[in-house]
A and B are shown apart, each in its own frame.
Chain A
Amino acid sequence: MKVSKTYPLKLNVNGEWKKAEVTPRETLLHVMRERLSHTEVKEGCGKGDCGACAVLLDGKPVNACLTLALQADGQRVVTLKGIGTPDKPHPLQESFIKKGAIQCGFCSAGMIVTAKGLLDKNPKPSREEIGKAISGNLCRCTGYKKIIEAIEEAALKLRRTKNDRR
């Protein structure tokens, strides 16, 4: 097989600029995991059916497996770790734990990233809107009910803290 030429890539990952040398065919998913050690971006199907690899690309949830890394050059990527960490969890992460919306956990990273994309755009989504927003994220454990409840609860919490600050 022909070895492809590599090109320099600059990505803003969770607020920090990172550099890598990548081939044109490498997906954003591959680069995040294998070159930048962001293994919180999960690989499920690798072809856009499962949503496990969801990241926010310039604020919008997309499948990292359906984006070439070089297409994201110069853009902002937010992963699960950019949303919150064990020391400083985001309300979404807290309510996912509290509500039991995580079982095996494989879909959770993509699920929370997608939910963050929704709440940034729509702070008060209905259950239906939540269901629709996560319809590109497969979960084979929970049956989605607890996930939807967790997102609803996090939205409420976020609205409250926002009102308190005023």
Chain B
Amino acid sequence: MKQWKKKATLIAGGTNVIPDLRARAIRPEVLIDISQLKGLSYIKEDKKKIHIGALTTVSELASSKIIQKWAPLLSEAANQLGNPLVRNRATIAGNLADGSPAADTAVPLLALEAIIVIQGGKEKQVPIHQFFVGPNQTVLKRDEMIKEVIVPKCNPNAKTAYFKLGLRNSMAVSVVSIAVLMEMEKTFCKKARIGCGAVAPKPIRAYRIEEMLENHELTERLLRACCETIGKEISPISDIRASKEYRTEMASVLLKRVMKRVTQ
């Protein structure tokens, strides 16, 4: 990467790179294939965290017992990304590095407060909420790549819910997606983390909603206020899949649904 700088593109699963090449959206002189770096494909756990190797496929995320147990939000989202054939090739790092505002693994990882381990000159760790910069832009420099994703284990008492709205059930790019993680004491919310996809130039956290919920008694009224406020927190665009107005409306509906699921 250092040698080729801007002329090179990394390729692993290829599910983004190959369509981009075909559409001439990218024109690299050199493709560097990292798909055979088997040492970067793993899911390990220690006491407090899960370590996911960059080249772990989305299928592996979806079927991993460790992730199902300690980060169910992530396996749920992985299970709905693209389609089964794509999931067998697509990697977690590829989904993140592509930097799509609708990146399906980013949304649960935001709610889980994951950390991206970047390998370049020297290794560094970036919290995922600082990783995305804009549409298809991340903090990754030309000579850097994702090495690992660290996910703090979810508190077993935490309630989580993920909801993805696409135009169809399979092979859908998210129109709106939301992941929620809440730690509750009866009806009192101790902690709230909310990730949203496809409603801003990058995958985002809904900080205002988190603040409204955290350290508050969850009442019908508060939940309604949250659903009304989410429209102010997001800045969706109109594209071939949906209009700005529809996305805003649906973000509120989806928030209502995920909140219903976590508070039940």
A51-67 at interface with B (beta carbon < 8 Å): 51, 54, 57, 60-63, 65-67
**In-complex Cβ contact of A67 among B31, B82, B89, B170 (8 A):** B89
Asked if A88 is at the interface (CB within 8 A of a chain B CB), the reply is no
Asked if A48 is at the interface (CB within 8 A of a chain B CB), the reply is yes
B51-93 at interface with A (beta carbon < 8 Å): 59, 82-86, 88-89
Which residue of chain B has the shortest Cβ distance to A25 in the bound complex?
B21
Asked if B119 is at the interface (CB within 8 A of a chain A CB), the reply is no
Question: Chain A residues with Cβ under 8 A from B171's Cβ?
Answer: 49, 135-136
| Known contacts A66-B14, A71-B14; is-contact A136 B86 (Cβ 8 Å) | yes
Asked if B33 is at the interface (CB within 8 A of a chain A CB), the reply is yes
A122-142 at interface with B (beta carbon < 8 Å): 132-137
CB distance from A160 to the nearest CB of B (A): 26
Q: Are B22 and A136 in contact (CB under 8 A)?
A: no
Asked if A9 is at the interface (CB within 8 A of a chain B CB), the reply is no
Asked if A27 is at the interface (CB within 8 A of a chain B CB), the reply is yes
Asked if A70 is at the interface (CB within 8 A of a chain B CB), the reply is yes
Asked if B15 is at the interface (CB within 8 A of a chain A CB), the reply is yes
Number of A-B contacts (CB under 8 A): 73
Interface size class of B (residues with CB under 8 A): 20 to 34
Cβ proximity bits B219-253 to A, threshold 8 Å, 1 near / 0 not: 00000000000000000000000000000000000
CB distance from A25 to the nearest CB of B (A): 7
Q: Are A46 and B170 in contact (CB under 8 A)?
A: no
Q: Are B169 and A135 in contact (CB under 8 A)?
A: yes
**In-complex Cβ contact of B19 among A66, A71, A132 (8 A):** A66
Q: Are B85 and A54 in contact (CB under 8 A)?
A: yes
Question: Chain B residues with Cβ under 8 A from A25's Cβ?
Answer: 21, 31
Question: Chain B residues with Cβ under 8 A from A48's Cβ?
Answer: 15, 18-19, 82-83, 85-86
Known: A63-B85, A66-B15, A114-B84. 10 other contacts (CB 8 A): A25-B31, A57-B88, A65-B18, A67-B14, A68-B11, A68-B31, A68-B33, A135-B84, A135-B169, A136-B85
